[in-house]
Structure 1
Amino acid sequence: MVFSLGNSFRTVPLNQLIDSDILLQPLQPLPEAGISAVVHHLFTESTHPPVYFALAHLWMKLFPSETGLVSISAARSLSTLFGIVSIPAVFGLSYLAFGSLLVSQLAAAMMAVSPFGVFLAQEARHYTLAVLLVIASLCCLVTAVKNIHLQKTLPISVALIWVAVNCLGIATHYFFVLTLGAQGSVLLGQAWRQTSQDIKALLQPHWQRIYTVVVGTSIGCLVWLPALQAIHGSAPTKWIYDGNPRIDWLAPIGRFLLWAISSWLMLPSAVTTIPLAVVIISGIVTLLFLFWTLPSLSSGLKYQQQHPDTRLATQILVEYLLGAIALFFVFTYGLGMDLTLAPRFQFVYFPALIVLLGAALAGCWQAIPIAREEGNSGDRNSDLKPTAKPYKQSGFKPKISLRVRKYRSILQLHPPLSPSPPLHLQPKKIIVIFILLMGLAGGLTINFNLGYLQNHRPDLLAPIIQKASIAPTVIATTHDHHGQTGRMMGLAWEFKRLSASNEEVKERKIAPQFFLAHRDPETRNHNHALKVLQAQLNKLPRPLDLWLVDFRTKVDLKSQQCVADSKYRSSVGGYKYKLYRCS
């Protein structure tokens, strides 16, 4: 939100005690700040490209501020709006790919209730816009591959839109390059299949238009190369390199599976807010539900792969999904950039996964026993004509009018009542309904902050601090970049909200002070900041409560007569905290 306002985190003083008002100053809208300020602060302080933040800047100007601060609802509403638009967008992608209303409706329904989609939509960040651009780019990819199979040249309008969408995608999130890489793997697969049949296939006109798109997209990506080089190894991105996935190689796989499952399934699992027994029960129910539904989803997807009208669309999206996942693990294990550390990065393959899930659900919904059509033992009338040969064997192909075909298909989907064995269609429909209901439950789980996707919940830590501290309070944290500033801003915002809604807190007039202990960029340690903190603590009246929140270095507090309170040494909502009572 700070960058969207055109403000800077660097106005917050470091290595000194500050109150909440000073800490929250970057969240105050400034009338003179424009898009140029947004771009400037992004390039000098952050690692994000500017498109979403420029749009958010214009959007938030439409809403009045709350008590002089930015409107949280306004900041989140733009991301929510993009999330809502992604529902009909997925419907359009599904219909373009499969030409089926059923697939499109089920995919849109899954997008509407997807826990991961709800998680992205409620964050005041740029990921829902990135999802929309991934969907748009996939629409162009599907159109292009279908034209390649028909040996038709891609319309110039589609080619230009594809290039524009790809360039906007990079300007929205740099990891959109993974989308382009996954699309490249799909096109390479198509090229390999065609050249295996005709070595000159890639010289055909319909491929030349694809080359134009590749060149245009490459130019749009190269524009951002200096920015990518500048952020490589910067403080805000170092956390991606934390750990050693080559040694602890199972952890990224486990995280990836959790994020992928959250696309359509999420039960209460926030260990910091709900009892452990509930989390364990949720885990058991999730595993049982997966064992029950995955075979049906697999057979539903196979149904789409075997159907001549949907085989190509299924192939495109499956290859895209596998290509994106492969790139994630190449970056994680090959380059040491663990892209599984944050669930939000999974936006790259999320739309394709949702569309394939819709296709699999549609396959379950409309599954018909093939035995009925082939006249084998599964045909209820096969015993009446034991000597009759199937059409394929006899060579006889009767002409059937369109009206008869229509009625025959209706009878296959809705056969008349008879004592013959059931079609086993109803149980699969029940599975589809249960999956949709579980998706809805997952979306509600995220909405009520009961899932495992949410991180950094200041609304959980602030009440603990207010309840435990009667004396004047200091909250200290180590500081490397604006990420730590933002987390302290979240706490300060919660304290203001609690004091405004709680008369008892107002009467106590407890306004915590904050200390951001900045790491010296030259010495790469916090020694100077710790000396300043100790000196400032000596000047404060006693009794005093000192909270160390996400404090990632050792500090000697005995000289300040500060003793740790063992009751308040834990973690909650993504924050680690320790309380020291100073006398």
Structure 2
Amino acid sequence: MLGLGLRLINLTDKCLWTDELATLVFSLGHSFLSIPLDQIITSETLLQPLVPDPQLNLGGVVEHLLGESNHPPLYFWLTHLWLQMFPTPDGLVSLWGARSLSALFGTAAIPAIFCLGYLAFRSLWIAQLAALLMATSPLAIYLAQEARHYTLPILWVIASLACLIIATRALAERRPLPLWVMLVWIVVNGLGTASHYFFSLTLCAEGIVLLGLAGRQIQQQALSTDKTLKANRSFWQKHPLRSTWLRIGVVGAGTLASLVVWLPFLQGVQDSEITQWIHRGNRVGLEWLDPVLQILAGASTMLYMLPIQASNAPLSVVSFVALVLLAIWTGFKINQGLRISSANGYAVWILGGFVVGAIATFLIITYGFEREVTSAPRYHFVFFPAVILLIAAALVQQWSPSRAVLKQTAIIIVSLSLLGAITVVSNLGYQKTHRPDIVAQAIREGPSQQSLIVIAHSTHGQTGRMMALAWDFKHRPLQPAPLFLMAHIIDKPESVLIPLQHSLEQISTPITLWLLEFKGVPEDALQATLAAHHCQPQPQVKSATDGYRYRMHRCRGDQ
């Protein structure tokens, strides 16, 4: 109940942003391509893909999703079905409905991590503490309040780790892996990949753990000199490890088959325009440390978050410094606890190896393939449940010997985790990646005349930015209603000047012109085009916020 309440508090208070709009549009079975480019449109036209159409089905969802985006369809299918249960205020899709599905999956992770904790450690104390930390984790709540597909794969990660624990225990006890576990493991891995392609990184980390165990067992067998145990046994008794490894191999083959299904849709994704934001090459100096620091920062938010994004600058700085100190102190305490528990904690070695393997995979992709997957904490869902379990196992070692009362360390960490949860739901931390609400407010505070908002368009990412503004104006009206123009870039950034010029020629009355994402357009050519249509820059209204660069011009119009 605590976890559910934290995930539903202020669920719709934060602004709707580009990635969430992609979830809504594709889940409804619509397309971004239906919105006209290079012509002036109204907010009604811009928001049309957010109007539910009962005639559209799951086939439309997968058609547009796989054709225009780079995500598998499972979560979008579920969202399509889920949204049919909610009314459509103002004719538009329900934002509460869209975000509540993610919140429910996030809540389900609480009993799921409890079950995994008990399975791995056979300890109710560790299982209960892991559930509590999952309930209050700032990262978990941030992901649960997004209309995005991250809380569902967290459930698949937990289920896959449960199968890994059972498999490694079977290896340790020299018994075959149950057939039902094999089937469940293959199905879970397939569903995980169908929810998010980054689930494959979870599989890589599990593979690293299994390879490590295989190497250890080979070494142990090479050192063994006891041959008497091999006499007079059945095949399964003689070769228990061989049979278990054979079954794990079958799981691997089945999982690989579920991955191969998506290869045709992954072709070209790496170099597509919508994934270029994670490309990072030509590092110099201390920039080489960025990925490591990003992983550490993201990992710290699994436990803590303070108001580092508060509007009060001193409070923000103090919160940042406090977070760094807390992370260092907590890292020391967790390391201390894990050293104690690892003496008789087989699960600590398995989960610890999994986390190390996942982080290594992230760093290989970042440094080796120049794709900075460490930059977004949301991608840490790959190893997030394992970290929570390891923290719980470490904290149990900080309790009193009788385990009747928590010691101060555990109390402090859990209390600060709850404080971090409150910080997130209060929008003082983990704010939306893009902030259309700030841009919309700047436009409202501008001149009280017709506004034309123009964005340099290349992908549906820019379409989503414009739709987010239109959504804001729909729910907090601006008079007169603004107009929108998505000037598409063809080959070169300056190509946007042609539709901009044509649009300005259609306007004969004074307007306020807002230019978004025009940074790459040559300044001389831009100012020449604007001057020809009597548009004067307003230097005092030129700014940037998360996801937007904007500036204002006042145009007298062609009369």
Look up the match of 1:420.
Answer: none
For residues 211-243 of structure 1, the C-alpha deviation after alignment (integer angstroms, 9 at most, x for no partner) is 111111111111111111142311211212145
Look up the match of 1:253.
Answer: 292
Closer, same or farther in 2 for the Cα pair 1:82/1:467, shift >3 Å?
same
Q: Which residue type is aligned with residue 277 of structure 2?
A: W
Out of 464, 467, 472, the position equivalent to 2:442 is: 464
Q: Could you tell me how far apart the structure 1 residues matched to 2:453 and 2:97 are?
A: 29
SS for the counterpart of 1:535 is helix
Q: TM-score, normalised by structure 2?
A: 0.88
For residues 60-118 of structure 1, the C-alpha deviation after alignment (integer angstroms, 9 at most, x for no partner) is 11111111110001111111110000111111111110111111111111111111111
SS for the counterpart of 1:153 is coil
Q: Could you tell me how far apart the structure 1 residues matched to 2:305 and 2:494 are?
A: 44
Deviation for aligned residue 1:36: 0.3
Out of 473, 480, 492, the position equivalent to 1:495 is: 473
Q: Which runs of 5+ in 2 are unaligned?
A: 1-23, 223-237
Look up the match of 1:101.
Answer: 124
Q: Which residue type is aligned with residue 303 of structure 2?
A: W
Closer, same or farther in 2 for the Cα pair 1:167/1:195, shift >3 Å?
same
Q: TM-score, normalised by structure 1?
A: 0.85
Larger mean Cα displacement after TM superposition, 209-218 or 540-549: 540-549
Deviation for aligned residue 1:452: 4.3
Look up the match of 1:134.
Answer: 157
Look up the match of 1:284.
Answer: 321
Q: Which residue type is aligned with residue 468 of structure 2?
A: G
Deviation for aligned residue 1:542: 3.8
Q: Could you tell me how far apart the structure 2 residues matched to 1:444 and 1:457 are?
A: 20
Q: Which residue type is aligned with residue 103 of structure 1?
A: I
Look up the match of 2:16.
Answer: none
Q: Could you tell me how far apart the structure 2 residues matched to 1:433 and 1:560 are?
A: 65
Q: Could you tell me how far apart the structure 1 residues matched to 2:442 and 2:162 are?
A: 48
Look up the match of 2:110.
Answer: 87
SS for the counterpart of 1:264 is coil
For residues 442-466 of structure 1, the C-alpha deviation after alignment (integer angstroms, 9 at most, x for no partner) is 1111112211453112222211211
Out of 493, 497, 505, the position equivalent to 1:538 is: 505
Q: Percent identity?
A: 44
Deviation for aligned residue 1:201: 7.5
Q: Could you tell me how far apart the structure 2 residues matched to 1:143 and 1:552 are?
A: 54
1:113-262 matches, within 5 Å, as 113-199=136-222, 204-245=242-283, 248-262=287-301
Out of 342, 349, 367, the position equivalent to 1:333 is: 367
Closer, same or farther in 2 for the Cα pair 1:453/1:243, shift >3 Å?
farther
Q: Is the 8 A contact 2:133 2:414 kept in 1?
A: yes
For residues 490-548 of structure 1, the C-alpha deviation after alignment (integer angstroms, 9 at most, x for no partner) is 1100011112xxxxx5xxx221111111122xxx2243332111221133134321112
Look up the match of 2:43.
Answer: 20
Out of 388, 404, 408, the position equivalent to 1:430 is: 408
Q: How many residues align?
A: 511
SS for the counterpart of 1:231 is coil
Out of 538, 547, 550, the position equivalent to 2:517 is: 550
- What is the Cα-based RMSD across aligned positions, in Å? 1.8
Closer, same or farther in 2 for the Cα pair 1:201/1:513, shift >3 Å?
farther
Look up the match of 1:568.
Answer: 541
Q: Is the 8 A contact 1:245 1:251 kept in 2?
A: no
Q: Could you tell me how far apart the structure 2 residues matched to 1:48 and 1:246 are?
A: 32
Q: Could you tell me how far apart the structure 2 residues matched to 1:462 and 1:50 are?
A: 32
Q: Establish whether residue 9 from structure 1 lines up as the match of residue 9 from structure 2.
A: no
Deviation for aligned residue 1:245: 4.5
Out of 350, 361, 370, the position equivalent to 1:316 is: 350
Q: Could you tell me how far apart the structure 2 residues matched to 1:261 and 1:70 are?
A: 35
Q: Could you tell me how far apart the structure 1 residues matched to 2:452 and 2:512 are?
A: 6
Look up the match of 2:11.
Answer: none
Q: Could you tell me how far apart the structure 1 residues matched to 2:283 and 2:381 are?
A: 21
Q: Could you tell me how far apart the structure 1 residues matched to 2:27 and 2:51 are?
A: 11
Larger mean Cα displacement after TM superposition, 453-462 or 76-85: 453-462
Q: Is the 8 A contact 2:489 2:496 kept in 1?
A: yes
Q: Could you tell me how far apart the structure 2 residues matched to 1:203 and 1:89 are?
A: 29
Structure number with bigger Rg? 1
Deviation for aligned residue 1:582: 1.9
Q: Which residue type is aligned with residue 536 of structure 1?
A: S
Q: Could you tell me how far apart the structure 2 residues matched to 1:305 and 1:114 are?
A: 24
Q: Is the 8 A contact 1:245 1:252 kept in 2?
A: no
Deviation for aligned residue 1:562: 2.0
SS for the counterpart of 1:564 is strand
Q: Establish whether residue 350 from structure 1 lines up as the match of residue 350 from structure 2.
A: no
Q: Which runs of 5+ in 1 are unaligned?
A: 369-409, 415-425, 500-504
